[in-house]
A = this chain, B = another copy of it.
Amino acid sequence: MGEPEVLREVEAVNTAFYEAFETADLDTMQDLWLDDPETLCVHPGALPVRGTGPINRSWALIMANTPYIQFFLTDVEVSVLEGVASVTCTENVLTGDDSTGLDSFGGAKAVATNVFVRTPEGWRMWIHHASPVLSAEDDDDD
């Protein structure tokens, strides 16, 4: 589903989302989201956060408490259904903090579903749902 050009557009916005998180760029993060009381954000292991104000505050808090984070995205799949696009990807996350020091990093894996809506200003995030991968299974189930 979706023209190659549209798929690239959506993937670019998805990449911009992770870059905004990596660089703790709260302004860009806010701009990437749809400004709407029904936007939805599920951070890994957490309950949902809904609406522009609470979601912006959640990112401000997370960014303030994340000295270093880097994402290596794998299995990025984009689907477009008319004006709505979904991106699923595996987030391979590298983090560091003051307690581990710059030479020691922790790694983790999460799965994200990101849903974007086409607006006159471009694609904007409607839903971000990230969840921790707890099991050792892989996705070779077909």
Hey, which bits of chain A sit against chain B, CB under 8 A? 1, 36, 38, 40, 42, 44-51, 53-54, 57-58, 75, 77, 79, 81-84, 86, 88, 90, 111, 113, 115, 117, 126-127, 129-135, 137-139, 141-142
Contacts and interface: CB of A to CB of B under 8 A. Distances in A.
Nearest to A45: B134
List of 9 A-B pairs having minimum Cβ-Cβ separation, nearest first: A131-B131, A45-B134, A38-B79, A47-B139, A54-B142, A84-B84, A113-B129, A129-B129, A54-B141
Nearest to A85: B84
29 contacts: A38-B77, A40-B79, A40-B86, A40-B113, A42-B111, A42-B131, A44-B131, A46-B111, A46-B133, A46-B135, A46-B137, A47-B111, A47-B137, A47-B138, A47-B139, A48-B75, A48-B88, A48-B90, A48-B111, A48-B113, A50-B77, A57-B141, A57-B142, A82-B82, A84-B84, A111-B129, A113-B127, A130-B131, A131-B132
Q: Chain copies in the assembly?
A: 2
Contacts of A134: 44-46, 132
A11 to B, nearest CB: 14
A86 B113 contact: no
A121 B1 CA distance: 20
A124 B130 CA distance: 22
A142 B49 CA distance: 9
